[in-house]
């Protein structure tokens, strides 16, 4: 297990160099660095005797079909894209560990077909809408998504074609009918496991998410000649609202609310800002609390804009309900944690994952491993080798249980 853990970690660090920005880890949907990532992982899959393909949404897929096996297929996977200047393990570790789980299944000669899916996109960075890869596999890819454009005016359709794929074939990316379940391995991206001195946990539910773009529009004007009481400063309005967002989250139990991106126009030091576009990300494991918070925050933005003589508009980019993980599958994972000799732990997850999309079509669950310092979406993101080894021990127990129960 030690050698497998070391290899899984080393591969993540190697893939981290396949980036759009030298010196940083930035890899968006079907940008050029995805080609060497695919080549590296394809070689790993083929070395394991897997049949490999890339579907029309850019998902790299490897199938291990044991000789004589006729049972249902287990799907494993996570994503290959990153946030700008992100970390080496978010998503990618779930793929390299999934391949190690295939190796374990081979070692135990389990009659269990396994498909490993390296999703092309989960973060929503390039086109503002997340889960493009898993939407296609789950059979939930809306054709209207093809018209979305990135900051350079390149559409999803054009990006797929530029990668050498045919967007007209996306419907064929849907999972095989013989598939029985989906499991995602992922770093926690938070501090809970570290605080409790635990290595791994099973996920009971994934928090619902709302993502919005909120635009304050006032009047750009000269910074030296426009009196303060006559200004229609969009950035000052946005700043007041951002403070309200933080206060609402701090005073609402379990709520996470973030303004992580601003676009300011004309963005000059000597000009009163005329327009500000702000992101809003709201999450909660209870949809009622999440939706109530969104309504409250939009009402607050409207009030601020009216008082400051600005106009306001907003666009919803994501309204993803909270997703419970499959109880039976999660119980298998909890039993596997116990069977591997680790403290049994289950918990909700506040981050969005491909498993929440796949769960709408297949039974799904997740295995989390500790994030040192609770750090993720950051270059300092890392993992402990002993925790990666724990995922392998849990994987062995889980695969043995699945081989007995989904054949």
Span 281-318, pLDDT tens digits: 999 999 999 999 999 999 999 999 999 999 999 999 88
CATH label of the domain that carries residue 373: 3.40.630.10
Asked which of 299, 320, 341 is the last residue of a domain, the reply is 320
Do 73 and 179 meet the contact criterion of CB atoms below 8 Å apart? yes
How, if at all, do strands 179-187 and 364-369 pair?
A: parallel
For residue 339, which of 400, 402, 397 has the smallest C-alpha distance?
397
CATH label of the domain that carries residue 268: 3.30.70.360
Does one domain contain both 314 and 372?
A: no
Do 81 and 121 meet the contact criterion of CB atoms below 8 Å apart? yes
Does one domain contain both 338 and 385?
A: yes
Does one domain contain both 54 and 134?
A: yes
Number of compact structural domains in the chain: 2
Does one domain contain both 342 and 382?
A: yes
pLDDT tens, N- to C-terminus, the chain (407 residues)? 999 999 999 999 999 999 999 999 999 999 999 999 999 999 999 999 999 999 999 999 999 999 877 789 999 999 999 999 999 999 999 999 999 999 999 999 999 999 999 999 999 999 999 999 999 999 999 999 999 999 999 999 999 999 999 999 999 999 999 999 999 999 999 999 999 999 999 999 999 999 999 999 999 999 999 999 999 999 999 999 999 999 999 999 999 999 999 999 999 999 999 999 999 999 999 999 999 999 999 999 999 999 999 999 999 988 989 999 999 999 999 999 999 999 999 999 988 899 999 999 999 999 999 999 999 999 999 999 999 999 999 999 999 999 988 75
Task: Determine the pLDDT at residue 407.
Answer: 58
Question: Residue 257's domain spans which residues?
Answer: 208-320
Give the span between the Cα atoms of 339 and 359, in whole angstroms: 25
Kindly report whether the global pTM for this prediction surpasses the value 0.75: yes
For the stretch 338-371, what's the b/e string if a residue is b when 16 or more beta carbons lie within 10 angstroms of its beta carbon? ebbebeebbbbbbbbbbbbbbbebbbbbbbbbbb
Task: Determine the pLDDT at residue 69.
Answer: 78
Does one domain contain both 200 and 237?
A: no
For residue 278, which of 293, 295, 298 has the smallest C-alpha distance?
298
The 3-class secondary structure across the chain, one letter per residue, is CHHHHHHHHHHHHHHCCCCCCCCCCCCCCCCCCHHHHHHHHHHHHHHCCCEEEECCCCCEEEEECCCCCCCCEEEEEEECCCCCCCCCCCCHHHHHHHHHHHHHHHHCCCCCCEEEEEECCCCCCCCCCCCHHHHHHCCCCCHHHHHCECCCCCEHHHHHHHCCCCHHHHHHHCCCCCEEEEEEEEECCCCHHHHCCCCEEEEEEECEEEEEEEEEECCCEECCCCCHHHCCCHHHHHHHHHHHHHHHHHCCCCCEEECCCEEEECCCCCEECCEEEEEEEEEECCHHHHHHHHHHHHHHHHHHHHHCCCEEEEEEEEEECCEECCHHHHHHHHHHHHHCCCCCCEEEECCCCHHHHHCCCCCEEEEEECCHHHCCCCCCCCCCHHHHHHHHHHHHHHHHHHHHHCC
CA angle 296, 150, 207 (to 5 degrees): 40
Asked which of 320, 352, 386 is the last residue of a domain, the reply is 320
Does one domain contain both 39 and 175?
A: yes
Does one domain contain both 109 and 196?
A: yes
Does one domain contain both 201 and 219?
A: no
Does one domain contain both 244 and 330?
A: no
Does one domain contain both 99 and 247?
A: no
Does one domain contain both 274 and 234?
A: yes
Asked which of 320, 355, 381 is the last residue of a domain, the reply is 320
Task: Determine the pLDDT at residue 351.
Answer: 87
**74, 207, 242, 244 from 233: Cα distances, Å:** 55, 35, 15, 17
Span 106-155, pLDDT tens digits: 999 999 999 999 999 999 999 999 999 999 999 999 999 999 999 999 99
Give the span between the Cα atoms of 60 and 7, in whole angstroms: 20
What residues are paired with 380 via a beta bridge? none
């Amino acid at each position: 297990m030690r050698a497998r853990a070391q290899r899984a970690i080393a591969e993540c660090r190697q893939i981290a160099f396949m980036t759009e920005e030298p010196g940083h880890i930035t890899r968006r949907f079907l940008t050029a660095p995805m080609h060497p990532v695919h080549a590296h992982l394809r070689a790993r899959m083929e070395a394991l005797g897997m049949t490999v393909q890339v579907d029309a949404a850019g998902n790299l897929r490897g199938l291990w079909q044991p000789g004589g096996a006729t049972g249902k297929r287990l799907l494993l996977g996570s994503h290959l894209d990153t946030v700008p200047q992100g970390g080496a393990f978010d998503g990618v570790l779930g793929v390299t560990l999934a391949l190690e789980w295939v190796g374990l299944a081979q070692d135990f000669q389990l009659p269990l077909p396994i498909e490993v899916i390296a999703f092309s996109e989960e973060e929503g960075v390039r086109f503002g809408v997340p889960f493009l890869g898993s939407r296609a596999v789950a059979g939930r890819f809306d054709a209207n998504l093809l018209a979305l454009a990135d900051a350079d005016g390149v559409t999803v359709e054009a990006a797929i074609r530029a990668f050498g794929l045919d967007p007209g074939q996306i419907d064929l990316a849907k999972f095989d009918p013989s598939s029985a379940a989906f499991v995602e391995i992922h770093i926690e991206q938070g501090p809970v496991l570290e605080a409790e001195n635990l290595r791994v946990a099973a996920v009971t539910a994934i928090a619902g998410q709302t993502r919005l773009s909120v635009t304050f529009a006032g009047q750009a004007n000269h910074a030296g000649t426009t009196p303060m009481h006559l200004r229609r400063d969009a950035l000052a309005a946005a700043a007041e609202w951002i403070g309200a967002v933080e206060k609402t989250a701090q005073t609402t139990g379990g709520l996470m609310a973030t303004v992580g991106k601003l676009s300011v126009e004309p963005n000059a030091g000597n000009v009163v800002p005329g327009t500000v576009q702000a992101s809003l990300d709201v999450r909660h494991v209870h949809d009622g609390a999440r939706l109530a918070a969104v309504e409250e925050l939009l009402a607050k933005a409207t009030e601020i804009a009216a008082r400051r003589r600005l106009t306001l508009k907003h666009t919803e980019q994501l309204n993803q309900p909270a997703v419970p993980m499959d109880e039976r599958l999660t119980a298998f994972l909890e039993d596997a944690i116990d069977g591997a000799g680790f403290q049994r732990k289950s918990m909700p997850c506040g981050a969005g994952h491909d498993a929440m999309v796949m769960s709408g079509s297949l039974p799904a669950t997740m295995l989390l491993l500790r994030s040192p310092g609770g750090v993720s979406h950051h270059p300092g993101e890392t993992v402990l080798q002993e925790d990666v080894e724990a995922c392998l021990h849990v994987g062995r127990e889980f695969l043995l249980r699945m081989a007995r129960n989904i054949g």
